[in-house]
Structure 1
């Protein structure tokens, strides 16, 4: 993860990664695209969508950063769960789909990707 998120990559590279993750999700679960209408998913190059992608990647980064701190990680996940409960139409299946998406996108971005680490 550090190779693609924290190792001095450009903001543009992070946006490209975010767009790749979401475009892959929308191919896997096309109906999930409707969940993102409030962040201008119709224009994945828009500032609103880019801001959302950055928030998602930042959340993932925080979770990864606190894997060795169970109390903080639990608090982070609880906070995210609370935010997502309010999302109309959000289904648990989409979280599983996002896991599949990450396992599709990340190997193309990380040298010597180890699926067991994920």
Structure 2
């Protein structure tokens, strides 16, 4: 019995993925592939927010001042660009922890200032994890994205 427990412990350790350097680089590469530029970037951002509001329709109320009632409005498109810009910066800094931590502390302050409850970070990540694999296909590294998204969300939650 003891041998079985030890063996299961080793198996669990083998399958546990943290956000190590390899995972960080992979997430950065996959993000660069899906984030693209121009109209593709707008469509990608819109897809994320459609997924956010599909999961949590009540979240629209948090974004009234930026036009969440119409996600196609210029005001909300600007909001999408700002949020995705912050996410792009955080993902780009995954391999530079001191600067990443400073950026996440800044994002923490912004979210607190705007009264965004931290449970919506999880909603956003679930939306992101639905949209990115739809764009990447079978190349999406779910364990790496889970682990590195946890780093980003934990840093914003602080």
Matched, 1:46 2:53: no
Partner of 1:110: 136
Q: Deviations over 1:3-46 (max 9, x none)?
A: 112xxx44111111111111111110111111111111112111
Matched, 1:19 2:46: yes
CA shift for structure 1 position 56: 1.0
Q: Which runs of 5+ in 1 are unaligned?
A: none
After superposition, residues 66-85 of structure 1 pair within 5 angstroms as 66-85=93-112
State TM-score, norm by structure 1.
0.90
Matched, 1:2 2:28: no
Distance in 1 between residues matched to 2:88 and 2:46, nearest whole Å: 16
Residue among 26, 29, 54 paired with 2:56: 29
State TM-score, norm by structure 2.
0.68
Higher helix share: 2
Partner of 2:24: none
Q: How many residues align?
A: 114
Larger radius of gyration: 2
Q: Which runs of 5+ in 2 are unaligned?
A: 1-30, 146-158
Name the SS for the 2:95 alignment partner: coil
